[in-house]
Amino acid sequence: MEPVEIDRFRADARDRQVLLHYSGEITSPVVATLSDTVRERLDDSAPDRRVARRVFSAFVEMAQNVLHYAPPDQADGFPHGTLTVTRGDVHFTVMCCNRVRNDQVGRIRERVDAVRTMTLDEVKAAYRARLRDETPDTEGISKGAGLGFLTLAREASAPIDYHIVPVAGEPDDAEFHLRAII
């Protein structure tokens, strides 16, 4: 990036009402710092505490998604990803992007598509059922209780949206883009 391009980048971020944009390695300390930043910025810009809590919850869930599921970068051994929070006239948007292994793409699509078709009541019921379920994930995709997409769907005001695209020159990887509108 040329030095003069920073002005265009800053103006674009201002015009798009970007509260936070981060791209790089994702570690627990990075997630903690970014979470603090999002919380502070929401204190200044969210119309009410319930909306701020929902945006913050979605951000943390997406950050954890990148931290736990992005494969480690070959250069430094850390997962890498992008996290963005924007404010629109009516809604906030929380987005993440990270690499995933191609052998996990089918199962990720299955899980997200299943959540996307649920009503809010169905999402809440599935969330409660998953909390009670003590069966571990045997497919190696979820490292937690499998609540991530359900949590995002509970917080979102529209179905969560995603895209999975191939990574040029990387036959084993794809990029997973996830968006929640709150």
Give the total number of structural domains in the chain: 1
pLDDT for 136-148, tens place per residue?
Answer: 555 555 555 579 9
CATH number of residue 90's parent domain: 3.30.565.10
pTM of the model: 0.89
* Structural domain containing residue 51: 3-181
pLDDT value at residue 37: 97
pLDDT value at residue 44: 86
Note the Cα 25 to chain centre separation in Å. Answer: 15
User: Can you spell out the DSSP letters for 105-147?
Assistant: HHHHHHHHHHHHTS-HHHHHHHHHHHHH--PPPSSSS-SSSS-
Report whether pLDDT(116) > 60: yes
For all residues of the chain together, what is the average pLDDT? 92
pLDDT for 38-71, tens place per residue?
Answer: 999 999 887 899 999 999 999 999 999 999 999 9
pLDDT for 6-17, tens place per residue?
Answer: 999 999 999 999
